Amino acid sequence: MKKTITKLAIALGIATTININAQITVTFDTFTLAADTFYENHSSADFTVAGTTFQYEWDGTYNYWSGGTSYTNKKDTINTVGPAPLYYTNVYSCIPGSAFSGANYATVQQNAVISFSNNTTAVTGFYITNTTYAWKVIKRGNFVARKFGDTTGTHSGTSIPQGEYPDWFKVIVRGYRGGSMITDSVEYYLADYRAPGTSNDYVIKNWQYVNCAALGQVDSIKFEMKSSDVGNYGINTPTFFSMDNFTTQSTVGIEELTNVSNISLFPNPTSQNAVISYESQSISNLSIIIFDVTGKEIEHSLLETNIGKNQEKLHTETLNAGIYFIEISDGTSSKKMKFIKL
């Protein structure tokens, strides 16, 4: 008979955790930079820290940083880019004016790729904020992009309804394994004007943590950027963001669950309780852990499975509205899922 085992089991010494290797945090301070400068390599040389490789591209024809990630220590929170040929004069600075920790941080472009020498890497998360360039354009607009929440009615020949325009700007982190994109992704809004009323509008101006636990094991990730302000040539909002303290864990020996299959979580999103449904090939113990977006453990329970189909109710009705992550583990393998509490 299936039974749920409470946290008392942990106190009694029952093994409930996965043995994951120590975290590695890339702060970008391992690189030496003169004050108020940034990484620039005209040979398009990627750079690597502790088995983590950051893609970098330089356009030699037009002489500018054309893609990937660059580390920087620039602190300019005032200037934005001007008309050509000064179009790229301040893409490296972050709006907080300094790194989350230490002296250096990174600025990242749309479609940047980060790859890992260990193909069983889990990206724990990283700190994110707007660049000075993107923040200024979102707040003020420029000759290409509109000011977010524009109420003028038209911009660049495009009709915009009168009243507050529900603009948004976000980063999507997509994980890859063996060249294939995995199912789960992580989204973070760097600006969001969608909620009714201007009091709820925001543009990120400090460092915020992005939890990437839902990605699971990956050998690379890619950053996709999207905005409500799109023109004939793509996104008008500057597709840059700043990043610091990029943290990973090696999950050597930890594979996807094989003894448990057909895992689903429903309803998702939910305003009440959620249910996990799965099939088990044998009687075994599973641990189910719920984390919030900061990585804090909210709930931890153990259960004994039956052979065949199983269902387990999760008491999520008391959780605050937001995004959460569920990890299901049998002690040697695991599965992570994301769910939304309304």
The radius of gyration of the chain from alpha carbons, rounded to an integer in Å, stands at 22
Tens of pLDDT, residues 214-235 = 888 899 999 999 999 998 889 9
In this structure, what token pair is assigned to residue 112?
A: 């940047």
| pLDDT reported for residue 151 | 64
| pLDDT reported for residue 299 | 84
Residues 207 and 90 in one domain: yes
| pLDDT reported for residue 31 | 95
Alpha helical stretches, state H, the chain? 8-11, 132-140
Residues 8 and 40 in one domain: no
Last residue of a domain, one of 250, 283, 298: 250
Residues 123 and 200 in one domain: yes
| pLDDT reported for residue 190 | 98
Residues 43 and 187 in one domain: yes
Query: What are the φ and ψ backbone dihedral angles of 8, each rounded to 5 degrees?
Result: -60, -30
Query: What are the φ and ψ backbone dihedral angles of 132, each rounded to 5 degrees?
Result: -60, -40
| pLDDT reported for residue 244 | 98
Residues 63 and 139 in one domain: yes
How many structural domains compose the chain? 2
Residues 210 and 133 in one domain: yes
CATH number for the domain that contains residue 292: 2.60.40.1930
Tens of pLDDT, residues 282-293 = 887 888 888 887
In the predicted model, residues of the chain with pLDDT beneath 70 are 1-22, 80-89, 151-164, 251-258, 294, 331-332
| Structural domain containing residue 59 | 23-250
> How many angstroms separate the CA atoms of 242 and 125, rounded?
14
Query: What are the φ and ψ backbone dihedral angles of 127, each rounded to 5 degrees?
Result: -95, 145
> How many angstroms separate the CA atoms of 331 and 13, rounded?
14
Report CA-CA distances (Å) from 279 to 114, 217, 251, 339: 35, 22, 24, 20
> How many angstroms separate the CA atoms of 38 and 92, rounded?
7
Residues 278 and 315 in one domain: yes
| pLDDT reported for residue 289 | 84
Proportion of the chain above pLDDT 90, given as a percent: 45
Residues 92 and 43 in one domain: yes
Per-residue burial over 168-207, b = 16 or more CB atoms within 10 Å of its CB, e = otherwise: bbbbebbbbbeeeebebbbebbbbbbeeeeeeebebbbeb
Last residue of a domain, one of 250, 278, 301: 250
Last residue of a domain, one of 216, 250, 284: 250
CATH number for the domain that contains residue 177: 2.60.120.1350
Residues 6+ apart with CB under 8 A from 220: 113, 114, 115, 116, 175, 176
Residues 222 and 147 in one domain: yes
Q: What is the DSSP letter of 89?
A: T
Residues 193 and 292 in one domain: no
DSSP labels, 50-86: TTEEE-EEEETTTTEEEEEEEEE-----S----STTS
Cβ atoms of 300 and 10 within 8 Å: the answer is: yes
Q: H-helix or E-strand containing 125?
A: strand 121-130
Residues 232 and 326 in one domain: no
pTM for the model: 0.72
Residues 191 and 73 in one domain: yes
Identity at 210, one-letter amino acid code:
V
| pLDDT reported for residue 45 | 97
Give the closest residue to 338 by CA, choosing from 328, 329, 107: 328
